[in-house]
Chain A
Amino acid sequence: MSDYNFAYLDEQTKRMIRRAILKGLAVPGYQVPFASREMPMPYGWGTGGVQVTAATLVPDDSLKVIDQGADDTTNAVSIRKFFERTAGVATTEETKKASVIQTRHRIPEADLSEDQILVYQVPIPEPLRFLEPREMETRKMHSLEEYGLMHVKLYEDISQHGDIATAYAYPVKVEDRYVMDPSPIPKFDNPKLEMAAIQLFGAGREQRIYALPPYTRVVSLDFEDYPFEATKANHPCDLCAAEDSYLDEVILDDAGSRMFVCSDTDYCRSRRAEGHVGRLGEEAA
């Protein structure tokens, strides 16, 4: 196969990660410390997700890697090649054909099924970190369920901006117990956190793993008079005309013309293959 052990990591490292994943699944939303390893890529490039994926993969898997929804960006391509070479697994760009999907900052638009696993790359796993820099304190806050500070932060958003201005990494409460950072996914994706697939979160630099079993109750924090709202750019996709997908804005020239396209490239491609055409669709085809 290759000169690497299956999926790169040594077996003892995988056992340590696997034990952390099992405890993470048993206590949904709680951040399990783990002994993150040096990976052949810099911290911040998805080393946490890569380690979780490496500990989870089996040879029959079909792996998809996305970066902000796209299969063809540097981070996604590098990680996909990494596992092609070190694990010998099949890779795919089609969401439906993938059994393991590693993602950076998006949840695919297509609903995931029970036999899929979604692995998130997480930069800062601690939702309270920007409110309280000391790990000793945030750990105590989680143990005491002391989450008032997070509500104060959301309230300050409202008093400064008129509404909750947090647009990504929007904090959620898991099974009415732990407040969790869903990684910097847009808040548009938050409702999708309640899904049929297993969700695993890996933060390499911060050495934390956490997890959501399927159908776990995940509630975005809000107020009665300022309810949570999943927002997106108010346009259809200019390539596939989708009204329901999260959009990227692309500046086209110096005169300020722009287009909005699906951030999920596989979703956009499959819709165009079905014959949907957006405002600029034919030029792109």
Chain B
Amino acid sequence: MLVVVCIKQVPDTTQVQIDPVTNTLVREGIPFIVNPYDTHALEEALRLKDRFGFRVAAISMGPPNAEATLKKALALGVDEAILLSDRAFGGADTLATSRVLSEAIDRLNRQEQVGIVICGKQTIDGDTAQVGPGIATRLGYTQLTLVDRVEKFDPFQGRITVRRKLEGRHETVEAPLPVLLTVVRELNRPRYPTVPMRLESEQATVQVWSNQELQLDQNGIGLKGSPTWVSRIFSPQREKGEIVGDGVADPAGAAHLLVDKLVSRDLLVV
């Protein structure tokens, strides 16, 4: 059985800066990382490999430099890494992205039966949470989102029981394979690559599949296959607040002014 993990290279959003003049994203010098949720997806796949000896393939759609992300996956122990990269895939929204990824998974499935696909619950740059479910629907796999625990997994019966993290409670569901899971951070603690593995991964090859391999209709992929478009990206503005009183020299006086302010706004009754 093959386990497939979908990963994405994303800008490290803790370091994202906005150009104050143009109010647009500054792209220079922002480091790229593996989408943090995807690292938990990778870890879960590797645990299945450790327990059952399944092979694990990591796939990613992105520009040629996303190869670095897949090398990291190889250093952690995935058996196969495939970069889906083609100019024709560029400018894709989530619908067009799930088209490419599901085709790649289908192609892998023809070589070795895919039992589980694991994705992070969302990416930290797009925040849409649509691609995982999109893949599941396209492939007809059972979709289990927001998984925070794999309760039971029986590859012989072909069934999996997971716990899903909902608002203020959990839900346990059971489903037949093949399944697609999207996972939350609470699921596991990702391992670090060992030094020998990291050195080895430097030499390992990341396969690159372009549309030459996938043969997808151009109308369903990239910009053309995308029913939504992003018109603008900007930083939400809020007026800077005023400083009330002198809280260092006169805390009581400042407290008095603050109370008055809250009372005048109907936020406090004294």
Q: Do A and B form a real pair?
A: no
